[in-house]
């Protein structure tokens, strides 16, 4: 099965929306790593040594290749990546192989059957 890993780096208040949107678009599961720190083009200012940046989450989805681009675009739209500076970023990577997806495989194959 051809798979892609979609990685979304989002503000923590947008994590639930990204998860729901991706699932509605065909993602069968996700892994969330919470409370990471990101820095964009212009580093955030600090006040008395305290960091003013909000918390970010890393949300990862392992999806079938035919669905990957649509899920990626849906995530970007839901999280307003192109509309709000610092809203987040998402990208996809090709996956050579994966194990441990036995429970998700029938659902993935059923959804992409017409693309095969």
**Digit-coded pLDDT (tens) for 36-54:** 876 666 666 666 665 556 6
Query: How many domains does one find in the chain?
Result: 1
Average pLDDT over residues 79-91: 89
Under 8 Å between Cβ of 19 and 59: yes
Q: Establish if 79 belongs to a structural domain.
A: yes
Residue 35 gets the label, from left (phi > 0), alpha (psi -120 to 50) or beta, of left
Average pLDDT over residues 85-114: 78
The boundaries of the domain holding residue 86 are 1-34+51-95
- Is residue 35 predicted with pLDDT exceeding 70? yes
Q: Establish if 111 belongs to a structural domain.
A: no
- Is residue 61 predicted with pLDDT exceeding 70? yes
Q: Establish if 115 belongs to a structural domain.
A: no
Under 8 Å between Cβ of 29 and 104: yes
Arithmetic mean of pLDDT over the chain: 83
Q: Establish if 11 belongs to a structural domain.
A: yes
Q: Collect all residues with Cβ–Cβ distance below 8 Å to 75 and sequence separation of at least 6.
A: 6, 8, 18, 21, 22, 25, 81, 90
pLDDT at 30: 94
Q: Can you give the CATH number for the domain in which 86 is found?
A: 3.30.70.120
Q: Establish if 43 belongs to a structural domain.
A: no
Query: Using CA atoms, how far apart are residues 80 and 82, in angstroms rounded to an integer?
Result: 6
What is the widest separation between alpha-carbon atoms in the chain?
58
Q: Establish if 105 belongs to a structural domain.
A: no
The dihedrals phi and psi of 54, each to the nearest 5 degrees, come to -80, 165
- Tens of pLDDT, residues 65-84: 999 999 999 999 999 999 98
pLDDT at 97: 82
Query: Using CA atoms, how far apart are residues 22 and 49, in angstroms rounded to an integer?
Result: 37
């Amino acid at each position: 099965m051809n798979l892609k890993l979609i990685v979304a780096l989002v503000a923590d208040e947008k994590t639930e929306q990204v998860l729901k949107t991706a699932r509605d678009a065909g993602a069968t599961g996700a892994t969330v790593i919470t409370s990471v720190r990101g820095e964009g083009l212009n580093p955030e200012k600090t006040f008395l040594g305290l960091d003013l940046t909000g918390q970010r989450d890393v949300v990862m989805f392992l999806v079938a290749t035919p669905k990957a681009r649509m899920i990626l675009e849906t995530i970007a739209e839901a999280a307003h990546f192109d509309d709000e500076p610092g809203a987040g970023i998402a990208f996809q990577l090709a996956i050579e192989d994966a194990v441990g997806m036995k429970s998700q495989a029938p659902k993935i194959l059923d959804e992409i059957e017409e693309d095969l």
